[in-house]
Amino acid sequence: MDEEQDKKIKQQKLDRRFVLVFCGILIIGLVYLLSLSLQWEIFHPIRVLGPGAFPVGLIITILVLTIWLAIQVLTGKGSSAKLKNHIDISSVKKGFFLLGRIFITISLMQLVGYVIALMLFTFVELRFFSEKKMRWRSIFLCMFILPTAIFLLFSFLHIRLPMPIWF
């Protein structure tokens, strides 16, 4: 009984440390994004808000909520301080691998353009990381239709997406 309780306490300490480290990394990333997004036009002379208002507001909201979570975990007060379930390392790894694939896709967009990068991302996600295994025909249909439809939608709205460097 004592050994089980000691194991539970160690797991709770590990969970708290993980949440605090994650909050710290998130805060650093959000401050960096905020410094980049402040260069955008937040207020527009004709309209009330400019194109940079939404990203700045979203970043500030996430930053405030992350700081609030970190304070609750540090002080041990509040409903967020007590985690209901222990953090499952395998699900955390899946999330970080997905984040890595997204960053690789964003990096590829500068080289091969939006459509090709999203086609590769869709193929990798559906073929290797999908819970339900799909047939090849379905994978190729999704791989071509999804990025093309999004590209056409954004073109219709006159929003430029990344093009390959050779264009």
Domain boundary among 86, 103, 134: 86
Rounded to whole angstroms, the Cα distance separating 111 from 107 reads 7
Contacts of 150 (CB under 8 A, 6+ apart): 118
Mean pLDDT, residues 38-45 taken together: 64
**What pLDDT does 8 receive?**
74
Structural domain range at position 123: 88-167
Domain shared by 25 and 61, yes or no = yes
Query: If 0-12 CB within 10 Å is exposed, 13-18 middle and 19+ buried, where does residue 75 land?
Result: exposed
Domain shared by 92 and 61, yes or no = no
pLDDT band, very low/low/confident/very high, at 83 (cuts 50, 70, 90)? low
**What pLDDT does 84 receive?**
60
Domain shared by 15 and 75, yes or no = yes
Mean pLDDT, residues 120-133 taken together: 85
Higher pLDDT, 87 or 34: 34
Domain shared by 53 and 42, yes or no = yes
The pLDDT tens digits for 59-78 are 889 899 889 888 888 887 76
Domain shared by 10 and 80, yes or no = yes
- What is the domain count for the chain? 2
Please state, rounded to an integer, the average pLDDT across all residues of the chain.
Answer: 80
pLDDT band, very low/low/confident/very high, at 149 (cuts 50, 70, 90)? very high
pLDDT band, very low/low/confident/very high, at 14 (cuts 50, 70, 90)? confident
Question: Given a cut of 70, is residue 51 above it in pLDDT?
Answer: no
Domain shared by 55 and 7, yes or no = yes
Domain shared by 81 and 95, yes or no = no
